Amino acid sequence: MNAAPVLVGYTAAVGFVAPPLLLRAAWPHRAPALAAAVWHALLVSFSIGVALAAYNLAAPTEHLHAGLVGLLHSCGLHVGPGGPDPDTADRLAVALPVALGTALAASLAFHVVRARRARTRHREAVDLVGRHSARLRATVLPYGVPAAYCLPGRRARIVISDAAIRELTPEQLAAVLAHERGHIAGRHHLALAVAEAFHSVFRRLPLARHAREQTALLLEMVADDRALRRHSSAALATAMYEMAAARTPRGAFAAGGHTVLIRLQRVLGPRPAPHPAFWGSVAAVAVAVPLLPLLVACPPVLG
Amino acid sequence: MRRLGDLEAEIMDRFWTWNRPATVREVVDDINRARTVAYTTVMTVTNILYNKGWLLRGKQGRAWLYSPVRSREAYAAALMEDGLGESRDRSAALVHFVENMSEDEVAALREALRSVGRQAKV
């Protein structure tokens, strides 16, 4: 039996139905790292689903081809009489998944390289212009508005304006720096690059759009949680407010501010961690989801 | 061990602090008060900074006079705005602490802080 219809249905569900369900769920903000992993599992699952669906659609007659490697080899199943032109169908069947894989890999490489180049250029300039503070383990730039950001990567930098040092209390400053260190230690830029790369390939797909936005928000929450290990929620929340409020005039045009409100309410509110059993089941689903399309395409041979 | 970038920073630091055109000799003499550094090294690195577009130069008599293209503050502002995602190319390169917000959104933040009974300096 050809698995194409099932694969198409499954892939469509992952690409269109799963994102709104995950968006509406309450648990992701309580376990942001796990939720970010689930979004990435969906990205992987969707990619594999599309590749296998394309393969099965292009090779409806399901004959074994010597050129198919490893996984795909076992997915063709049943040696049967060929179609009208087995060679063309075969080549197409292999070419489509390969093209998709290449596009995704190229997109990821493009985003990683471009981001790294931008960071290197920025870091060299920051090192010249700024003053490194050994006490804060950050680079201080003369700038009239309290602000902070980080340059993740191998030679990471935390950049902070001198206004932030003047205007924030030591506790607030420490909480902000801990947040930024959380981004760097967690290598969050790589997870963002994956979501960005997927979005470049599947631009209009709901999964791509939501995964990119949610990854960014969830990673901010992960960094917030890291800061909260050592610092009070009051310090982090008021620092967030101070920095957001100070930047309003020049950034009034920009969108995305509502994410700060979500984070602030989360930081101030109760943050009960999900039950370990629930956490475990979600983690199991996150691991299983990328494997599902393979199970559909290559059912274990019975009997 | 000092890296090339450290010497670049030391040189730029002098030009920004003096806020006037200066020769390589002046820079070398000033650095030499703290540690010894060869004239040729400083000249090479100053040339690199000129080629990278950080310094301008003009000839006065037989000597080149160098001066910074922009003030330290101007560079810092441009870097900050880039780092805070206000420039067009919002790639995954940089992660900033808070997004840009509208006034309504800031008011909502203030409200959220107030509703839990914390004090925010406004």
Tracing tokens 């909502």 back to the chain, one arrives at: B108
- Quick one: CA torsion of A249, A254, A258, A261, rounded to 10 degrees? -30
Length of chain A in residues, anyone?
A: 303
What's the whole-number mean pLDDT along residues B114-121?
Answer: 59
- The 10s digit of each residue's pLDDT in A245-279 is 876 544 333 344 678 889 999 999 988 889 999 99
CA dihedral over A78, A81, A83, A89, signed as positive or negative: positive
Q: Please tell me the number of Cα atoms within 13 Å of A96 on its side-chain side.
A: 19
What is the C-alpha end-to-end distance of chain A, expressed in Å?
16
Closest CA to B120 of A266, A245, A193, A289: A245
Q: How far is A135 from chain B (nearest CA, A)?
A: 19
- Check if the beta carbon of residue A158 is closer than 8 Å to that of residue A207: no
- Check if the beta carbon of residue A85 is closer than 8 Å to that of residue A63: no
Q: Are strands A138-141 and A157-161 parallel, antiparallel or unpaired?
A: parallel
With an 8 Å Cβ cutoff, are A159 and B80 in contact?
yes
pLDDT at B121 > cutoff 90? no
Q: Is B4 on the interface with A (CB under 8 A)?
A: no
Q: Where are the beta strands (DSSP E) in A108-156?
A: 131-133, 138-141, 148-151
Query: Across chain A, what does the average pLDDT equal?
Result: 87
Contact list, B110 vs chain A (CB under 8 Å): 241, 245
- Residue B117's pLDDT is 60
Return the amino acid letter for A174: A
The nearest alpha carbon in chain A to B116 belongs to: A268
Residue B89: CB atoms within 10 A of its CB come to 10
- Quick one: CA torsion of A162, A164, A167, A173, rounded to 10 degrees? -120
Q: How far is A20 from chain B (nearest CA, A)?
A: 24
- The 10s digit of each residue's pLDDT in B14-66 is 999 998 999 999 999 999 999 999 999 999 999 999 999 999 999 989 889 99
Q: Is B50 on the interface with A (CB under 8 A)?
A: no
Lowest mean pLDDT among A183-192, B64-73, B105-114: B105-114
Question: Which candidate from A149, A193, A268 shows the least CB-CB separation from B96?
Answer: A149
Question: Which candidate from A126, A145, A261 shows the least CB-CB separation from B109?
Answer: A261
Q: Are strands B63-68 and A131-133 parallel, antiparallel or unpaired?
A: unpaired
CATH of B4-68, one of 3.40.50.2000, 3.30.70.360, 1.10.357.10, 1.10.10.10: 1.10.10.10
Residue B64: CB atoms within 10 A of its CB come to 18
Domain ranges across chain B: 4-68, 72-115
The nearest alpha carbon in chain B to A144 belongs to: B77
pLDDT at B94 > cutoff 90? no
With an 8 Å Cβ cutoff, are B96 and A148 in contact?
yes
With an 8 Å Cβ cutoff, are A244 and B101 in contact?
yes
d(CA A187, CA A176): 17
- The 10s digit of each residue's pLDDT in A216-253 is 999 999 999 999 999 999 999 999 998 888 765 443 33
pLDDT at A80 > cutoff 50? no
- Residue A251's pLDDT is 35
Helices A170-185 and A188-201, axial angle in degrees (round to 10):
60
Percent of chain A, pLDDT > 70? Answer: 85
pLDDT band (50, 70, 90) for residue B107: confident
Q: What are the beta bridge partners of residue A141?
A: A161
- Residue A252's pLDDT is 34
Q: How far is B60 from chain A (nearest CA, A)?
A: 27
Return the amino acid letter for A214: Q
Question: Which candidate from A114, A143, A257 shows the least CB-CB separation from B99?
Answer: A257
What's the whole-number mean pLDDT along residues A177-201?
Answer: 94
- The 10s digit of each residue's pLDDT in A125-183 is 999 999 999 999 999 999 998 999 999 998 999 999 999 999 999 999 999 999 999 99
Tracing tokens 């139905």 back to the chain, one arrives at: A17
User: Could you tell me what percentage of chain A is helix, strand and coil, using 3-state DSSP and rounding each to the nearest 5?
Assistant: 70, 5, 25
- Check if the beta carbon of residue A88 is closer than 8 Å to that of residue A104: no
Contact list, B72 vs chain A (CB under 8 Å): 129, 142
Question: Which candidate from B75, B89, B113 shows the least CB-CB separation from A129?
Answer: B75
Please determine, for the modelled complex, whether the ipTM score is greater than 0.90. no
Tell me which of A260, A265, A267, A271 to substitute to probe the interface with B (most B C-beta atoms closer than 10 Å). Answer: A260
Tokens coding A33: 């790292």
